[in-house]
Chains A and B, each alone.
Chain A
Amino acid sequence: MTDKTLDVMSETYGRALVAETAYEKRAIWLPLLAVHTLNAGEPVIKGKTFTDCVIEGPALVAVLQGTTFEGCDMGASSDAKSLLFTPHGPRLVGAIGLQDCKFVRCRFRQIAYTGSPAFIEGMSTEITGRGGAGR
């Protein structure tokens, strides 16, 4: 009888997950996707489209060039700034980089955000629970 337990930390599972470029109506555990992306030799999550997905943390996302958010719920907080962090140095250790990614009607849970000073300034004034057009 075959053991059908899904090992989400396995190389097989990880390679299949990373190979996908479009995710629809899925629950995405972002730290897991990030680890498998790193194991595949890629420093950031790049060029993927997420539609009607729940993006779950805990995670700090570094919003890099080309990443957009359309009609997204960026997370629940009475204080929008609780979703934001600024780095003390020029590097972002521990953050998950998202480059050229597109999020459409996604919900973000236990996710915080960081990026350039311009990005943080813009997000702090724009986060009202739903993200508009990206940056």
Chain B
Amino acid sequence: MSYVPINRPVQVAANLNATSFEDADINLFELFVTVMGGTKPGRIEGRTFRRCRLQGPAILLLAGGVELESCNLGDSGGDIRNLLLQPLGDFSLGTIPMRNCRFDNCEFFNVGFTGSQAVLDMLAGVSPGARA
């Protein structure tokens, strides 16, 4: 199933502590700050996003178990590699780590992606359904 463009009016997510988001607009750095103050600080985990618009500026660290189904990863300028960043060290500081999250028909704006070499290779050959 291919990505269906999201054309609805802006609808800011009301509760960033939710585990499931549908038809919501989310600033990823706001989501991160909310999670950092939660019971399991440091990582966005076990969340589901459906038909959401996710805005940066942000670099998502896909730390395992992240599924991207029929998503628009953003304006790559014709080359998906423009959305990818290679960490030089063992700890990817400055990023927003995610684990075991699912994105279904979501749109990313001003968001880059990083992770292990396997994750980067998977994204570089991105298909509509991708799993990190």
**Interfacial residues, chain A to chain B (CB-CB below 8 A):** 9, 29, 31-32, 34-35, 38, 57-61, 75, 77, 79-96, 110-114, 120, 124
Question: How far, in whole Å, are A96 and B30 apart by their CA atoms in the complex?
Answer: 16
Q: Across the two chains, which residue of chain B brings its CB closest to A123?
A: B88
Residues of B within 8 A of A (CB): 27, 29-30, 32, 55-60, 74-77, 79-96, 110-114, 120, 124
* Distance in angstroms between the alpha carbons of A48 and B113 in the assembled complex: 28
Query: Residue on A with the closest CB to B96?
Result: A58
Q: Are A94 and B93 in contact (CB under 8 A)?
A: no
Q: Main SS of chain B's interface residues?
A: mixed
**Shortest distance between the CB of A124 and any CB in chain B (Å):** 7
With contact pairs A83-B93, A87-B82, A94-B83 given, residues A35 and B88 touching in the complex (Cβ less than 8 Å): no
A92 touches B88 (CB 8 A): no
> Which of B29, B88, B90, B110 contacts A93 (CB under 8 A)?
B110
Known: A75-B94, A89-B81, A91-B82. 19 other contacts (CB 8 A): A9-B27, A58-B59, A59-B29, A59-B94, A60-B85, A60-B94, A77-B93, A79-B90, A80-B89, A81-B89, A81-B90, A87-B85, A88-B86, A89-B79, A91-B76, A93-B83, A94-B57, A110-B94, A112-B59
- With most chain B CB atoms within 10 A of its CB, the pick from A75, A82, A84, A85 is A85
- Complex contact A58–B84 (CB within 8 A): no
Nearest B residue to A8 via CB reads B30
- Whether the pair A93, B76 counts as a contact (CB closer than 8 A) is yes
> When chains A and B are docked, how far (Å) is the Cα of A88 from the Cα of B124?
9
Q: Is the CB of A60 within 8 A of B86?
A: no
Q: How many Å from the CB of B114 to the closest CB on chain A?
A: 7
Which single residue of chain B is at the shortest CB-CB distance from A84? B88
In the complex, the answer to whether B91 meets A111 with C-beta atoms within 8 Å is: no
Contact in complex: A31, B85 (CB < 8 Å): no
Q: Measured between alpha carbons, how far is A29 from B89 in the docked complex, in Å?
A: 24
**In the complex, how many angstroms separate the beta carbon of B107 from the nearest chain A beta carbon?**
13
A96 CA to B95 CA, complexed, in Å: 12
How far is B114's CA from A89's CA once the two chains are assembled, in angstroms? 13
Contact A75:B93 (CB < 8 A) given known A58-B29, A93-B111, A95-B112: yes
Expressed in whole angstroms, the minimum distance between the Cβ of B94 and any Cβ of chain A is 3
Report whether B57 and A96 are in contact in the complex, using a CB–CB cutoff of 8 Å.
Answer: yes
B96:A86 contact, CB within 8 angstroms: no
